[in-house]
Amino acid sequence: MPRGQTETVRFLPAGDTALVVEFGSGIDRALNERVIALAALVDEVGLPGVVEAVPTFRSLFVHYDPLVTDGARLSAALSDLLLQSRAATRPGRLFRLPACYALEYAPDLDYVARRTELTTDEVVRLHSDTKYQVYMIGFLLGYAYMGDLPAALDLPRRDNPRVRVPAGSVAVAQRMTGIYPTASPGGWHLIGMSPVRLFDLAMPTPSLLAPGDAVRFEPVTAGEFGRLKALPPIERFVLEDDAA
């Protein structure tokens, strides 16, 4: 066992150019915060040979240059960082993202309401009253997996995924919510639409959201949605400094 490793953390090789630091076996906010804290510390310290550190729900994928380091040396270095990462904090960012829940933008809202035995207004209230944590970015460039959806809205994915989900669609499945950054196939339930671009190569950081960010959805009317779509992308949302 690498020095400093706790009993819940495992170091797993992923070929000869990557290492997985696994913190647990489930989706848990506290566990995910440990992943994000270690990722931030790896970026800050600049370990020799590390190419990229990618946070997931419950593990950190560390890609390295095998000409500079190897799995054993990297495991030892990461094990030392684990003790520091417990005290590390990432500056919080809270995004307020507009979302239109009008039925023309929410093809599954009625279905979600029926399945959960709620009214559509109650579904919208529950969804928009929750502050979500960005657990990870994946599936599509800029796609943020956000939790935790209220238990009352917990539904499995659609039995028949759509071939094409429009960009900007606000979706829910199980205990997660997200916004499709580009048009793509998808199996989540569509309950709204956001004018915010989550991925834009013209931005200094192409992915708007990052693991550890917090998000609140602000309901807007169909008219307001159209007005926001006409604004420059940077003016379509509100960013607050502190996600606490």
Same domain, residue pair 206 and 173: yes
Q: Is the dihedral of CA 186, 187, 188, 190 positive or negative?
A: positive
Q: What is the pLDDT of residues 204-213, one digit of tens each?
A: 889 999 999 9
Q: Tokens at residue 237, please? A: 């949302």
C-alpha angle 103/236/228, rounded to 5°?
A: 50
Same domain, residue pair 132 and 187: yes
The C-alpha atoms of residue 40 and residue 89 are separated, in whole angstroms, by 8
Domain of 172: which CATH number? 2.40.100.10
Same domain, residue pair 80 and 108: no
DSSP class of 104? G
Per-residue pLDDT of the chain (244 residues; tens, 9 = 90+): 333 334 589 999 999 999 999 999 888 888 999 999 999 999 999 999 999 999 999 999 999 999 999 999 999 999 999 888 665 556 679 999 999 999 999 999 999 999 999 999 999 999 999 999 999 999 999 999 999 999 999 999 999 999 999 999 999 999 999 999 999 999 999 999 999 999 998 888 899 999 999 999 999 999 999 999 999 999 999 998 765 5
Helix (H) or strand (E) holding 83: helix 71-85
Domain count, the chain: 2
Identify the pLDDT of residue 136: 96
Full residue range of the structural domain in which residue 131 is found: 94-240
Cβ neighbours around 202 below 10 Å, total: 8
